Structure formats: C-alpha cells, structure tokens
Amino acid sequence: MIYVGIDVAKDKHDCFISNSDGEVLFNAFTIPNNREGFDSLFQIIKAASENLTQVKVGLEATGHYSYNLLGFLLDKGLTTFIINPLHTNLYRKSLSLRQTKTDKVDAHTIASMLMSDVNLKSYSDTSYHNEELKSLTRYRFDKVKERAKLKTSVSRLVNILFPELEKLVPSLHMSSVYALLAEFPGSADIASAHLTRLTHLLEETSKGRYSKDTAILFREAAKTSIGSHMPAKSLELRHTIRLIQELSAEIDEIETQIRQIMDLEIKSPILTIPGINYRMGAMIIAEIGDFNRFDSPDKILAYAGMSPSTYQSGQLDNCYAHMEKRGSRYLRYALYNATKYVCLWDETFAAYLAKKRAEGKHYNVAISHAAKKLVRVIYQLERSGQTYRTSS
C-alpha cells in the first residue's frame, strides 16, 4: 500500500508519501493550491504506484480549504480519508514528547495514521456530493441566527417607541405588525395617522383578522403612550424590519432548495419520523453524510459530541459525566431540537421522555437520552432503507 498524507492550507498543501514498509517514497514536498499543483500531485502519486487501488490519501478536516482538493482526488478514483484534527493532534503527541508541529510534520503524521489503520473510514462520493445540502443547511442556520438578532432589536426599539403595542398583539413579529411599524414607526406616528389608512393597512396585511376596531384600539393606545419620539430610533426600526423581511425571503428560498434536494436526490426515510421536518431532517442528514462511515449509532453520537465524557484515574471516577460537545455543533443542535419535537409527536418517544423524567432527570438530560434513542432509530432506518413505524 501507498500512503499519502496531505496537510491542507489556503494557498499551498504539504504532502508526504510512504509505503506499507515504512519506506519514505517522497519526502515532504509542497504543491500550490491550483490546477497545476493538483496535477503535479497526481503524477507523483502515479509514479509511486500505477495501481491507484493500492493508494490511500489522508486529509485533515479543514473546512472549505480542502473541498476542491478532495473533489479532485475522488474524481481521480483515489481512496481518500478525512481525519479529525483532534485525532491528528493526539496521534502526533503519542509519537514524540517534543512539541513539534509544522505543516510537513503534520503531513507525515497523517500518512503514519493511514499506515497504522486506526479505524478510519474512507470518504465516499455520497459524502462529497452531500456537501451541497450541508452548505444550504448551514447557510440557513446562519441566516436564521442573524434574523433572530434583528428580531431582538425590533423588540428593543418598540419598547422605546411604543411599549404598549406589545400587549395589544399576540407577537410583535407578525407581518401585520411589521407593516404597521414600517409605515408608522412610533406612537406619535400612529396617534396622528388617518383612521381610514390605518384600518386599510391592518386589514390588508392581517388578511382580515384586524378590523377598524383594532385600528381605533392601536391609535387610542398610541395617544396615551409613554413612548419616546426619537426619529433616529424610528429610522433604525424601519431599516431593521426591512432587513428581517429580506432575510425571511432568502430563508424561504433556501428552504425551497433544501426541500427539492431532500425529495429528488436524498429521499431519506428520516422524514417519516413524526416531528422531524425538512429543516431538521436535512441538517441531520447533511452533517452525518454517508452512514456507512459509522460502524454504530454510538460513533454518530461521538461525532456529534453527544457522548458522555469519561475520566478515571486510580480511585477517582467521574460519577456525573458531562456531554463532550467536541463534535459537529450543527449536528448536535439539529438532533437536540428534532428530539424535542419527536417527543411531542410520537407516543413511543413521549413515553421514553416521561420515563427519564420520572427517574428524576432534568429535562435537558432526559432530552439527551431521547436524542440517543433517536440516533439509533435514524441509523437503523438509513442503513435498512425502511420507513419509521411506531411501536404502538
């Protein structure tokens, strides 16, 4: 076997090639991060072995920097492994007590890890082409987070300009309320608004839910409001609402693409589980990727950072193990939130959650136990291709 270790960086990649006898075939060398560099690397690999099935290539998981090189290697038919940097770091420390870390040393370490066969799983085409779904779900996650911050700003500004409004509506974050505040961003503006215009605006944006009576209620409350008249804050409110509306339109567009990929390409049985919608289901599938990479559901839990930490030394043993939280935060977020809805919609999971709560566990701890059960179910469905059937 030929082992190729590659330390990935933004502008260049350091490589090291050895064989199964530990003989160095090509000492550490550097290639530029461009087509010429990729082709040069491939020619060197072919010079080391004409039989590409006898070649294993290892890369550290370095996010988008490794994506183009990974695609190139897979297209060339090379068996490629993506290695967690934590594993690389621990393995390098196990080889030497010296604190030596350079890009060339890392390339050598990766090749040594491949040679030692430390239970690594090769990266498949399924995982690679699943990157599009991962990009969309993570992009949506960031957009939703950005929108949530803006909504907090709206609440803050309304509390300054028209604090009484919050008690007059079910939520400030409704299209009708946003339309009202976009045109009349303050109690003084609403108090002086023409009743006919105010009524028409509310009726149109609420689709008939709000009538003239509501318009009168809002205007009377505005006349006696303690809200401040601050044009600068009013301008900020209008702009913030506009940004929220733009973000909402973008999120809708992203979710449409996610739904198309899930329906036409992924076709995952995860959506048959009650309580898992396209958003959470897509994020779980995208973050896990190829389920064949994992020997058991416990490996997925470890990948998500949801496994309990373990510490034992002599007579000391940790009795209260905490969640590791060292894996994919996106997967951990999706699993945790999906579990809460599954426990609401599925009787089996609801009973399991109630059982854990009856044992005296905190709600969050009980949910984490239910999440582990959900991972086992998802793993079985994905490996078998069967749809979910409740035990009741």
Q: What is the mean pLDDT of residues 277-292?
A: 90
For the stretch 174-197, pLDDT in tens is: 999 999 999 999 999 999 999 999
CA distance 265 to 248: 25
Distances (CA, A) of 184 to 202, 359, 381: 12, 53, 52
The pLDDT assigned to 304 comes to 87
The pLDDT assigned to 310 comes to 47
Contact 290, 369 (CB under 8 A): no
Kindly tell me if the per-residue pLDDT of 75 is higher than 80.
yes
The pLDDT assigned to 104 comes to 81
Q: What is the mean pLDDT of residues 49-53?
A: 89
Q: In DSSP terms, which residues pair with 322 in a beta bridge?
A: none
The pLDDT assigned to 209 comes to 92
The pLDDT assigned to 360 comes to 94
Q: What is the mean pLDDT of residues 229-234?
A: 96
The pLDDT assigned to 265 comes to 84
Q: What is the mean pLDDT of the chain?
A: 88
Type and span of the H or E element at 80 = strand 79-83
The pLDDT assigned to 99 comes to 57
Contact 291, 173 (CB under 8 A): no
CA distance 80 to 60: 11
Q: Tokens at residue 315, please?
A: 């007579």
Weakest-pLDDT range from 12-16, 71-75, 127-131, 198-202: 127-131
Kindly tell me if the per-residue pLDDT of 97 is higher than 60.
no
Percent with pLDDT over 70 in the chain: 89
CA distance 265 to 285: 12
For the stretch 113-150, pLDDT in tens is: 888 866 676 776 666 668 889 999 999 999 999 999 99
State pTM to two decimals: 0.76
The pLDDT assigned to 305 comes to 84
Distances (CA, A) of 206 to 67, 145, 193: 46, 26, 18
CA distance 144 to 247: 8
Quickly state the pLDDT bin for 98 (edges 50, 70, 90): low
Q: What is the mean pLDDT of residues 317-333?
A: 68
Nearest to 5 by CA among 68, 75, 55, 46: 55
Nearest to 186 by CA among 209, 165, 215: 165
Q: What is the mean pLDDT of residues 375-382?
A: 94
Q: What is the mean pLDDT of residues 373-384?
A: 94
Kindly tell me if the per-residue pLDDT of 264 is higher than 80.
yes
CA distance 384 to 175: 44
Contact 3, 17 (CB under 8 A): yes
For the stretch 335-362, pLDDT in tens is: 999 999 999 999 999 999 999 999 999 9
CA distance 192 to 240: 23
Quickly state the pLDDT bin for 324 (edges 50, 70, 90): low
